[in-house]
A and B are shown apart, each in its own frame.
Chain A
Amino acid sequence: MSALPPPAPDAAVLREAAQWLVRLHSGRAREADHAACAAWREADPAHERAWQRAERLSRKFGAVPSGVGVPVLARQARGNRRAALRTLALLATAAPAAWLGWRLAPWEAWISDHRTATGERREVQLADGSRVLLDTGSAIDVRIDGAQRTLRLRVGAIQVATAADARPFVVETALGRLRALGTRFTVRQDGEDTQRQIRLAVTEGAVEVTLRGASSPALVVPAGRQTLLRHQGASPLTALTAVTPESQAWTQGVLYAENMRLADFCAELARYRPGLLHCSPEVAELRISGAFQLRDTDYVLSMVASTLPVQVLTRTRWWVTVLPV
């Protein structure tokens, strides 16, 4: 006589396991989520059995190399080859950065009209004569028709100098719409979801801001002023302040720091470098000031090491850590 095999987990327990998987794969799961899941597993052997099944599932998914699963499995409909080929064309576009892992490369950037690689800064002239300067790792879509000129900022930062034209010029961002009134201005979009924020700085003319979902403009930002739009809050607009050198320096290929936390400085510098740039917590609160040429970020790091009590540990070209001496 052999012992009976344990019964298969019942549907309700499997549904609970599915809910845990949903929570842990969101991309934002924290230590507490993992701990809560572990407690659930320990609470009942049936939970643990269901979880074993979940782990076998994960191993199965893990066996599929990146880049193969989506075109093969995300078929829009049976036999719809066109969709698969389109997906593949997108994947192929990302080839140069592919080995770095495309989790680092924003998906949004691949399907845009104009984009810049990490460390690249490029000016684009639009059909109407307007000029757009794209900062590192940025992407925009452009649509110019008989009635309107629309530019969608998908990711990163741009400087816009509009050409004189009767048609309205509008920049769409995740948090709202910016309408240029004969203008030069910069827009930077950071973060995701609730962390999302938009920095708008106007250097010539004025820009009218209409928040997402609103029908009428919230304010007009005049030349020499900047503002910050956030995701949450009844009043997502902070007060207007004078345009700071920090917000404009990138257009000259410079990273400008004034008493900036080293952690923030590294985060800014990392936007211009492929790979990982990590600032260890022990030195995060050190302060740094200066104007740094972004053309050579290795040189910038060596300057940091020579002015602050830190050392720059280069594990590979793509993995750099700033540590205490």
Chain B
Amino acid sequence: MPSADTSAVQALYTAHHGWLSTWLRRRLGCAHSAADLAQDTFVRVLLRPQALPTLREPRAYLTTLAKGVVSEHWRRQALERAYLEALALMPEPLALSPEERLQLLQTLDEIDAMLDGLAPKAREAFVLSQLEGLGYAQIAERLGVSERTVKRYMAQGFERCLAVME
């Protein structure tokens, strides 16, 4: 646990929290989420205590972490929007309790994060196979690629998912 480094984190926080919040606010245009994301950034600092003692450019380090937090924030926002649209447009409304809705969003978020970085077509192929049960031949025809290519996409998708699953 990072107990030994708490004071280092404390120092980092005191010295740079205000600066980081301003930096985030300029990027997001929203003070409210800037404050949240500043918190998230420092959580990431806490999760990597080993980086602290050697830190020479604290602001550069914070910026790197904050960029990750911001892109995660956008990814999640886009996902939530798509999720709400999908639910609203379902031909037959899913009978889900609020908890189940949240659980489903959580699951979609995890899958989305796992697939992050896959090329759009590979991503689509993977989702059509794993979430809608299409065969590779159907996917190939739908995406206008060969079945070999679909297999390559699937291998990329599975490798990525297996690498990050616990």
Q: Of B3-11, B12-20, B22-30, B135-143, which stretch is located at the interface?
A: B135-143
Query: Contact residues of B with A, CB < 8 Å?
Result: 74-75, 78-79, 81-83, 85-87, 89-92, 94, 103-104, 107-108, 110-112, 115, 120, 123-124, 127-138, 141-142, 147, 151, 154-155, 158-159, 161-163, 165-166
Count A-B contacts at CB 8 Å: 156
Measured between alpha carbons, how far is A79 from B85 in the docked complex, in Å? 13
Tell me what chain A mostly uses at the interface: helix, strand, loop, or mixed.
Answer: helix
Contact present for A68 and B162 (CB under 8 Å): no
The residue from A60, A85, A92 contacting B107, defined by CB atoms under 8 A apart = A60
The residue from A54, A61, A79 contacting B111, defined by CB atoms under 8 A apart = A61
Given A11-B163, A57-B162, A193-B137: A69 in contact with B132 (beta carbons within 8 A): yes
Contact present for B127 and A74 (CB under 8 Å): yes
Residue ID in chain B nearest A92 by CB atoms:
B91
* Interface size of A as a range: 35 or more
Report the minimum CB–CB distance from A153 to chain B (whole Å).
13
Contact present for A73 and B138 (CB under 8 Å): no
Report the minimum CB–CB distance from B120 to chain A (whole Å).
5
Contact present for B162 and A54 (CB under 8 Å): yes
The residue from A57, A67, A92 contacting B161, defined by CB atoms under 8 A apart = A57
Tell me, yes or no, whether A192 is within 8 Å of chain B by CB.
Answer: yes
Tell me, yes or no, whether A34 is within 8 Å of chain B by CB.
Answer: no
Listed by A's residue number, 16 A-B pairs whose Cβ atoms lie within 8 Å are: A15-B159, A22-B151, A25-B136, A25-B154, A26-B136, A63-B107, A68-B104, A68-B108, A72-B112, A75-B82, A79-B74, A79-B78, A84-B82, A85-B89, A91-B89, A99-B92
Tell me, yes or no, whether A18 is within 8 Å of chain B by CB.
Answer: yes
* Additional A-B contacts beyond A63-B103, A69-B127, A94-B91 (6; CB < 8 A): A21-B162, A68-B90, A70-B124, A71-B82, A95-B91, A98-B91
Given A22-B155, A91-B91: A64 in contact with B131 (beta carbons within 8 A): yes
Residue ID in chain B nearest A54 by CB atoms:
B162
Contact present for A73 and B112 (CB under 8 Å): yes
Tell me, yes or no, whether A19 is within 8 Å of chain B by CB.
Answer: yes
Contact present for B85 and A73 (CB under 8 Å): no
Report the minimum CB–CB distance from A195 to chain B (whole Å).
10
Contact present for B138 and A88 (CB under 8 Å): no
Residue ID in chain A nearest B116 by CB atoms:
A78
Measured between alpha carbons, how far is A295 from B91 in the docked complex, in Å? 29
The residue from B85, B110, B154 contacting A22, defined by CB atoms under 8 A apart = B154
Contact present for A73 and B163 (CB under 8 Å): no
The residue from B75, B81, B89, B120 contacting A88, defined by CB atoms under 8 A apart = B89
Residue ID in chain B nearest A191 by CB atoms:
B137
The residue from B85, B133, B159, B161 contacting A71, defined by CB atoms under 8 A apart = B85
Contact present for B129 and A78 (CB under 8 Å): no
**Which A residues, 130 to 158, have Cβ-Cβ distances below 8 Å to chain B?**
none
Contact present for A73 and B90 (CB under 8 Å): no
Please, what's the 1-or-0 string for A184-201, where 1 marks a CB less than 8 Å from any CB in chain B?
Answer: 000000001100000000
